[in-house]
Each structure stands twice: as structure tokens, then as C-alpha cells.
């Protein structure tokens, strides 16, 4: 593996080390990086939480998490190296005095990377604490978790709080979808292949579908999720980031500024959805009890801690339009939900039909070519083409068949391990490369558009439509496309 950015030792400080995200994702990802020999021998990982536990207790806790959440068995050699890097500091993150003792745990001579795996409401407290203990310097980097705020206004408050202490070049806003191999491959697919580069606009593309389906419900996170809903939890960040990578113009180079500038232009071109067009362009759903892979699951309002009155959406379908030259008249249909039949994320790009059908004997209407980008699982790229069925007949009559050119990542890259998104992003932060992180103006442009929809929903005062768990959402989502003579492509229905 070639590492372009600096690979220097750092003090990696994990605020909220005992939380769900740190335990399930961040610590196992750091361990995997160690296994791949991608953490500098002198780097230290300092977990921070409120509980007063000993160093030994912390190391034992990390080991337990890695054993529980890593996909592979613990490797004793890796663990010996990794555990030697671990340290723990008990800090009451809201209390500035608490940071004085913390200062003695970090080494001022090394780059400090602070990961805020805490609720955003305490990002400002952490910054103030670090400042009061005189720990902040120009080389420091901070990583902020999503969601940044609840709307544009609150995102500005959070960003302002952090900006008081850190420059934008020091701030790494995580959207873990940007660390997914297949999401990154969108850049390679588009800009390294002339067949796509030259056919990627309103002249050739009829419409685009982005589906991010999950079979899980809200996994014991009712309190958080009910405040957020699927719009803030998934669309404002992950789906819009995927959309920007599909729709952006070629950046001049792959550096952070050029990529982010192009993504921002897409976000600014999103046609507003407001009270005047919200009914035509959006569908909201909430799951009721049903079956996922044959197993009965409760409805959203029957989940533990649920408030029976909740009108939070767990499903969204949207028709999105971009007001720019490339995409004029090309709808992007976005769909995401909890408790759908399976976990599948994919992008389907439907090309325009041929202008004239020479094969009426075989197909009254020639199906369009389709490019499917399977983001997860079974990562890969697939092109649907029309092919002649082999036979003795000449041009008098040709039987055609829809066929697939299929690139499966697991078959093509047999010897490569597909790293978890967080592994990639943590490595990028440690190397100081901001390309895969979201800039403040992107977050704000995304919120500006999302806020319009949220306000229109609030104004309409309509409850989300119920859908049975284990189905593809409310029927209105089918109608969203059907009224334009289109249909969702459900390629992987029933796949485990």
C-alpha cells in the first residue's frame, strides 16, 4: 500500500471511548489498522471517558470489544502491539478543570488527533477544556461525528463553537459512507473510464436511482432516532454525499479542495422542495409490525422506549432534481428506510432508450441499458446490455436477450480485504488528508435543502404513511415513479 501523506506518530485521543460508536466501530478499526501495520510504532491511543477506571481495566475492555465486534479472531501478535499503545484518561468533558490532569497524558511534541465520539452538544465543552489546559496548537486535528446539528441553524452553532478553537483545515467531519470502497469507486468509475465519462449527462441518462435499504430497525437508539428521523440520519449526509459523487463535474485534481468544491456545486444546484411541491416529490413512511426474513418484528411505535404519538419517518422516497447544465431534466430518485426486506445499497443509472427499435420482432420496446453500482453487500458493478441469443438465423430475425456484464469485487479482488469505512477514514485523519471529509459549506448547503423539506412536512401536518416491516415502504413510493412511467429497480429482493 502506498501512503502519500505523512505517516508520523500521533496521540490519537478518543473522547467517548466507552460509547457505542467507539466500541463497535472505532476501536475495532484501529485494531485492524494495527494488524495491517498502518499505525506508526510510536502512536498512542488514549481513550477518554467519565468513568474512573484503571489502565488495566481499560485495556481489558478494549480487548472485549475487539473480540466482540471484529469480524476475525484476535491475533495475539497484533494485540500485543496494539495494547501497548493504549492509555486511558478519566475526564469529565463538561468540566474545564478536569483537563488539567489530562494534559499530563499527552505529548506536546506530537500531532494530536482528537476524535469527538460524543453527542455534538458537548463538542464546544471539549474544545473549551482543551483550550483552558493549553493543549490546543496549530498541528492538532479534530474529528467530528455526524449528525452535525439538527438543522442549518444548530449546525452553525456547533461549527462556530469548534471554529472558535480550530481552523477549517484542522477539522475532519466524518461521513462514513465516504470511506466505503464502493462509494470511493464512483470517482474511479466515472473519471477513469471514457465510456462513462462521455455518456454521463442528460443526453444519455434517463434517470438515476439511489437506494440505501436497511433491514434493521432502530437498534435500541429510539431516543436519538426519534429526534432525527431518516431524513437527518441518512439523507442529509450519506445519500446526499453519494449523489454529489455521481453528479459532480470532474475535479481538476483529487485533492481535498477540488473534490469538495465540485461536491458543493451539486448541493447548491439541488432544486428546493417546499410546501408548493412537497407532495409530488416526497414520500414519508413509518414501519408497523411485519416480517423480516421470516421473523416477526415489532413496529416502530412498539420498539422499546417508544412514544406512541411519534410521527418520525423511518422511510423516505424523494424525487430530486438538479438545476444545472449536465443534469437538466434528469430526475434522481432517492430511497432509504429501516426495516426494508434486506440490507442493500445500490445506485442504478438508467440510460435513455435507443431512438429507434430495429428489433421489434424480439422486443416491442427495447429495454434501456442500466449501470448498477452495488455499494453493499456483494460489492460490484454491473452493466445490463442487450445481446443476440446465439442461433443460425441472420439478420432476418434476431432473438435478443438482456444480459449482464458483471464485475464482482470479491471475485476480481480475491486477495484484497475490503476494509471497513472507518478504517480508511481513521487512516486518512492520521495522515492529514481531508479529501474524504465533509467541509463546513457542504454540511450547510445540505442542511439548507433538507430544512426546506422538513419545514414543508411540518406545515403539511401529515403523518407518515405506515408500511409493513419487510416491504419496500409505502405504496406511494411506487407511485412516485409510476406516475412518470418508471419503477424502482429491486434487484436484490429476497437476498440474504
440 binds, options ligand LXAUTJHC, ligand NDP, none, Cβ within 5 to 8 A by partner type:
none
Binder to ligand LXAUTJHC among 11, 34, 226, 233 (CB under 6 A)? 233
Answer yes or no whether residue 346 interacts with ligand LXAUTJHC by CB under 6 A.
Answer: no
Q: Which residues of 459-477 are buried (b: 16+ CB within 10 A; e: fewer)?
A: eeeeebbebbbbbbbbebb
- Does the annotation list 346 as a binding residue? no
Q: Is 417 annotated as a binding residue?
A: no
Q: With contact defined as beta carbons under 8 Å apart, do 382 and 404 qualify?
A: yes
Q: Is 146 annotated as a binding residue?
A: yes
238 assigned to active site: yes
233 is annotated as contributing to ligand binding:
yes
Tell me: is residue 343 an annotated ligand-binding position: yes
User: In angstroms, what is the minimal distance from the CB of 129 to ligand NDP?
Assistant: 10
Residue 11 is a binding residue for ligand LXAUTJHC (CB under 6 A) = no
Distances (CA, A) of 98 to 50, 51, 70, 248: 10, 12, 33, 45
Residue nearest ligand LXAUTJHC (C-beta atom): 233
Nearer to ligand NDP by C-beta: 95 or 460? 95
Q: Which is nearer to ligand LXAUTJHC, 214 or 313 (CB)?
A: 214
- Closer by beta carbon to ligand LXAUTJHC, 177 or else 332: 177
By beta carbon distance, the residue nearest ligand NDP is 19
By C-beta, is 233 or 428 nearer to ligand LXAUTJHC? 233
Choose the one of ligand NDP, ligand LXAUTJHC, none that binds residue 119, judging by a C-beta under 5 to 8 angstroms depending on kind: ligand NDP
Q: Among 40, 150, 238, 356, which one carries the catalytic annotation?
A: 238
- Rounded to a whole number of angstroms, the minimum distance from the CB of residue 425 to ligand LXAUTJHC is 12
Beta-sheet pairing, 344-351 with 370-376: antiparallel
| Residue 93 interaction partner, one of ligand LXAUTJHC, ligand NDP, none, beta carbon < 5-8 Å per kind | ligand NDP
Residue 214 as a binder of ligand LXAUTJHC (CB under 6 A): the answer is yes
- 356 labelled ligand-binding: no
Closest to ligand LXAUTJHC by CB, 336 or 372 = 336
Number of chain positions touching ligand LXAUTJHC (CB under 6 A): 2
Question: Which of 145/321 has CB closer to ligand NDP?
Answer: 145
* Stretch 255-274 residues interacting with ligand LXAUTJHC (CB under 6 A): none
Asked if residue 150 belongs to a known ligand binding site, the reply is: no
87 is in an annotated binding site: no
Three-state SS string over the chain comes to CCCCCCCCCEEEEEECCCCHHHHHHHHHHHHHHHHCCCCCCCCEEEEEECCCCCHHHHHHHHHHHHHHHCCCCCCHHHHHHHHCCEEEEECCCCCCCHHHHHHCCCCCCCEEEEEECCCHHHHHHHHHHHHHCCCCCCCCEEEECCCCCCCHHHHHHHHHHHHCCCCHHHEEECCHHHHCHHHHHHHHHHHCCHHHHCCCCCCCEEEEEEEEECCCCCCCCHHHHHHHHHHHHHHHHHHHHHHHHHHCCCCCCCCHHHHHHHHHHHHHHECCCCCCCHHHHEEEEEEECEEECCEEECCHHHCCCCCCCCCCCCEEEEEECECCCCCCCCCEEEEEECCCCCCEEEEEEEECCCCCCCCCCCCCCCCCCEEEEEEECCCEEEEEEEEECCCCCCCCCCCEEEEEEEEEHHHHCCCCCCCCHHHHHHHHHHHCCCCCCCCHHHHHHHHHHHHHHHHHHHHHCCCCEEEECCCCCCHHHHHHHHCCCCCCCCCCCCCC
What residues line the site for ligand NDP (CB under 6 A)?
A: 16, 18-22, 49-51, 93-94, 117-120, 122, 145-147
Report the Cα–Cα distance between both ends of the chain, in Å, rounded.
33
Minimum CB distance to ligand NDP smaller for 116 or for 327: 116
Task: Tell me the closest approach of the beta carbon of residue 261 to ligand LXAUTJHC, in angstroms.
Answer: 25
Question: In the complex, what is the shortest distance from the CB of residue 209 to ligand LXAUTJHC, in angstroms, rounded to a whole number?
Answer: 17
**Do 120 and 20 form a contact (C-beta atoms < 8 A)?**
no
Look at residue 20 and give the partner it binds from ligand LXAUTJHC, ligand NDP, none, a contact being a CB closer than 5 to 8 Å depending on partner kind.
Answer: ligand NDP
54 binds, among ligand LXAUTJHC, ligand NDP, none (CB under 5 to 8 A by kind): none
**Residues annotated in the binding site for NADP(+), as ranges?**
50, 146
- Binding residues for substrate are 176, 180, 214, 233, 338, 343
Binding site residues, ligand LXAUTJHC, CB under 6 A: 214, 233
Catalytic positions: 238
Instruction: Give the residue numbers of the binding site.
Output: 50, 146, 176, 180, 214, 233, 338, 343
Amino acid at each position: 500500500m502506498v501512503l502519500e501523506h505523512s505517516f508520523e506518530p500521533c496521540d490519537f485521543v478518543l473522547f467517548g471511548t466507552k460509547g457505542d460508536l467507539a466500541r463497535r466501530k472505532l476501536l475495532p478499526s484501529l485494531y485492524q489498522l494495527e494488524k495491517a501495520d498502518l499505525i506508526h510504532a510510536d502512536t498512542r491511543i488514549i481513550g477518554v471517558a467519565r468513568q474512573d477506571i484503571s489502565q488495566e481495566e481499560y485495556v481489558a475492555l478494549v480487548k472485549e470489544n475487539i473480540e466482540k465486534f471484529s469480524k476475525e479472531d484476535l491475533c495475539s501478535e497484533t494485540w500485543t502491539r496494539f495494547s501497548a499503545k493504549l492509555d486511558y484518561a478519566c475526564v469529565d468533558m463538561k468540566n474545564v478543570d478536569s483537563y488539567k490532569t489530562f494534559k499530563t497524558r499527552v505529548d506536546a511534541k506530537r500531532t494530536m488527533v482528537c476524535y469527538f465520539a460524543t453527542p455534538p452538544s458537548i463538542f464546544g465543552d471539549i474544545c473549551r477544556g482543551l483550550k483552558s489546559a493549553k493543549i490546543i496548537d496549530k498541528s492538532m486535528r479534530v474529528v467530528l461525528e455526524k449528525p452535525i446539528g439538527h438543522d442549518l441553524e444548530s449546525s452553525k452553532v456547533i461549527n462556530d463553537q469548534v471554529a472558535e478553537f480550530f481552523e477549517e483545515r484542522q477539522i475532519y467531519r466524518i461521513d462514513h459512507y465516504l470511506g466505503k470502497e464502493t462509494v470511493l469507486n464512483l470517482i474511479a468509475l466515472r473519471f477513469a473510464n471514457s465510456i462513462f465519462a462521455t455518456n454521463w449527462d442528460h443526453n444519455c441518462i434517463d434517470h438515476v436511482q439511489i437506494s440505501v435499504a436497511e433491514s434493521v430497525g432502530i437498534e435500541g437508539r429510539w431516543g436519538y432516532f426519534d429526534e432525527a428521523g431518516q431524513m437527518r440520519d441518512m439523507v442529509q449526509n450519506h445519500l446526499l454525499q453519494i449523489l454529489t459523487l455521481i453528479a459532480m463535474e470532474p475535479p481538476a485534481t483529487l485533492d481535498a479542495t477540488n473534490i469538495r468544491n465540485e461536491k458543493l456545486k451539486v448541493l447548491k444546484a439541488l432544486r428546493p422542495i417546499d410546501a408548493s411541491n412537497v407532495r409530488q416529490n416526497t414520500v414519508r413512511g413509518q414501519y408497523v409490525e411485519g416480517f423480516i426474513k421470516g421473523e416477526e418484528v415489532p413496529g416502530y411505535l412498539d420498539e422499546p422506549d417508544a412514544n406512541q404519538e411519534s410521527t418520525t419517518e423511518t422511510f423516505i422516497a424523494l424525487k430530486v432534481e438538479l438545476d444545472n447544465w449536465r443534469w437538466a431534466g434528469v430526475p434522481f430518485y432517492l430511497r432509504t428506510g429501516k426495516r426494508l426486506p434486506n440490507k442493500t445499497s445500490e445506485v442504478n443509472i438508467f440510460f435513455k432508450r435507443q431512438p429507434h427499435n430495429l428489433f421489434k420482432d424480439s422486443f416491442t420496446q427495447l429495454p434501456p441499458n442500466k449501470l448498477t453500482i452495488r455499494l453493499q453487500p456483494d460489492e460490484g458493478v454491473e452493466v445490463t446490455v442487450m445481446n443476440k441469443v446465439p442461433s443460425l438465423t441472420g439478420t432476418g430475425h434476431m432473438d435478443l436477450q438482456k444480459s449482464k456484464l458483471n464485475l464482482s469485487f470479491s471475485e476480481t479482488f480475491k486477495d484484497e480485504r475490503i476494509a471497513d469505512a472507518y478504517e480508511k477514514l481513521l487512516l486518512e485523519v492520521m495522515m492529514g488528508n481531508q479529501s474524504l471529509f465533509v467541509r463546513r459549506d457542504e454540511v450547510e448547503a445540505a442542511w439548507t435543502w433538507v430544512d426546506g423539506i422538513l419545514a414543508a412536512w411540518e406545515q403539511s401536518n401529515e403523518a407518515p404513511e405506515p408500511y409493513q416491516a419487510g416491504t419496500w415502504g409505502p405504496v406511494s413510493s411506487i407511485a412516485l415513479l409510476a406516475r412518470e412511467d418508471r419503477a424502482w429497480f429491486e434487484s436484490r429482493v429476497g437476498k440474504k
